[in-house]
Amino acid sequence: MEEERKSSQQYGALDQTELHRGTEKSTEDVISMADSTVTIEDIEGELFRIERIREVLVRRESELRYMMDDIQLCKEITKLKQELQRLVTIPDTDKSTEDREKEEELLKQINKLVETRDFLVDDLCSHFPYKQRPPQQTDSPTVMSTTPWTIIFLYISFVMLFVVYIIHFIFHISILKVTLLIFRKFTVVYGS
């Protein structure tokens, strides 16, 4: 009996546990399960809610990435079209062979970018079916306006996603701490 008592005092006994200053957390940081009214159902509910928020934000992040790719493609197409327009304004009699080759090359590049953008839009619509499909493109894509507000919105969305990931990580760490505390109390009460 004396050996049983001695072993419980050596491993996990509350009366033998001391906080060492400088190496352990302060007493304000120690969570006591006796003071907590949080149930397992509350923790599971909160975990489910955080998982749902994370899923929504991951989905939004994917949508934003598609939007950024679309904006970039539209900018490139617009730049190439302006260059092509400059070449088209030159009369055919004044065009050099190099100008004609450049026109052909620009047309091929524009066509390739338009096909890439169409593929991107189709892919977006297949991954996110709840969104309304954009109107079918005519001979040239419309350029989305990229105002500073659009860019600010994209940055804020990414920052929000990062914050939610951090909160999610902290929540998982706190769940692990609570589980460890419960395990330690269980070990003290019922023995190992």
pLDDT tens per residue, range 40-90: 888 888 889 899 998 888 888 888 888 888 888 888 988 988 888 888 888
Residue-level pLDDT at 100? 87
What does the DSSP assignment read for 125-137?
HHH-TTSPPPPPP
pLDDT at residue 6, rounded to an integer: 46
Q: Is the pLDDT of residue 28 over 70?
A: no
- When pLDDT is cut at 50, 70 and 90, the band that residue 161 belongs to is confident
What is the crossing angle of helices 97-127 and 40-88, to 10°? 160
User: Is pLDDT of 22 > 60?
Assistant: no
Mean pLDDT of all residues belonging to the chain:
71
Question: What is the pTM (predicted TM-score) of this model?
Answer: 0.44
Across 154-159, average pLDDT: 74
User: In angstroms, rounded to a whole number, what is the distance separating the alpha carbons of residues 11 and 156?
Assistant: 49
The residue ranges of every structural domain in the chain are: 37-146
Q: What is the pLDDT of residue 131?
A: 45
Rg (the chain; Cα; Å): 31
The length of the chain is 192
Ordered alpha helix ranges (H), 89-191: 97-127, 148-190
Percentage of the chain with pLDDT > 70? 56
Q: What is the mean pLDDT of residues 105-134?
A: 76
Structure tokens that stand for 116 in this block: 């890439």
